Amino acid sequence: MLDTLEIIESFSYTYMEKLSVLIAEDDPVQRKMLVSLLTQLGLHVRTAEDGQEAWEQLQEQPAHLVITDWLMPGMSGKELVEKIRGEKFDHYIYIILLTSKDDSGDLVSGLTAGADDYVTKPFNPKELEARISVAQRILKLEDELLNTKSELERLAAYDGLTGLLNRRAFTERAEVELNRAKRENWPAGVIFFDIDNFKQFNDTYGHAVGDEVLQHLASVVSSAIRPYDLFGRWAGDEFICLITASFEESTQTIAERIRKQVASSTIRTSNGAIPVTVSVGMAYQNELQEASLDALLLDADKALYEAKGKGRNRIAVISN
């Protein structure tokens, strides 16, 4: 059997500093013993005298671990477990039932209700410590899985080279912004642009330098647009911005600012300084009720080809 010191040392202190515990116990002596034991383990402990009070506390401030007595006045421990499992919290709540019931049917009933573990009363402190150690490992694993999930979601939404929204994420967010613009009766514009003669950069300097050019352009354009405008990498050397709540002249000013700032910034690469220009197509819709993102993209693409046809390093506009 592990002694208290060994169990405490087996905990991850970094994680345990974040771990909060709510004790639901109507017996003041048992409650005091639990608080003393868990405090020694470095846990943040709160208490409730019955299931209803525990539930109200969880609504205001969820805990990572709930240790609840089975038999309490009002809301029982089993009912508390059922309410916790019926609610959607931001993170998983691990539940340990304290019970004097030793009938296997009762224990199965508690576990089926959603409890993760149980300890029979009067509890053995070392046994409870060991079971809390199991809870800690499971909660830490859940924390790591959530962090991994968040990172995967981030990687799925952003372009790995430039750090901008990728095509899928840009499209999803643009649809949301356009719907909001329709509700607010705002106009909207799409600015679509690509690097003039980008293939020559790759052919002349290699793809590594081409990547540096794309990264530099992303940085320059980010400073040319408003902080709340959507900006993404569409494909290859094609980039796109969605501008809402802006008059046509203001949107065109943003498009021209993008072109000028790219043209005036010399890109310093591993092969030396390289001048870069972009051709810009802009589509503007004053009345959005009948407009769609696809329609704006189509017009912006047509405008981009018009700008290229007129000699590149310029903007062209299609307005409706």
Report d(CA 170, CA 302) in Å as an integer: 20
Provide CB contacts within 8 A for 183, sequence distance 6+.
Answer: none
- Please say whether the beta carbons of 251 and 274 come within 8 A: no
3-state secondary structure of 245: coil
DSSP conformation letters of 76-118 = -HHHHHHHHHHS--SS--EEEEEES---HHHHHHHHHHT-SEE
Angle (deg, nearest 10), helices 167-184 and 125-157: 80
In degrees, to the nearest 5, what angle opens at C-alpha 231 toward C-alphas 227 and 236? 155
Report d(CA 210, CA 218) in Å as an integer: 13
Residue 268 — φ and ψ, nearest 5°?
-95, 115
Per annotation, catalytic residue among 237, 294, 299, 301 = 237
Question: What's 131-172 look like in SS3?
Answer: HHHHHHHHHHHHHHHHHHHHHHHHHHHECCCCCCECHHHHHH
How crowded is residue 311: how many other Cβ atoms within 10 Å of its Cβ?
9
Q: Smallest Cα–Cα separation from 133: which of 38, 208, 209, 264?
A: 38
103 a catalytic residue: no
Question: Which residues does the annotation mark as catalytic?
Answer: 237
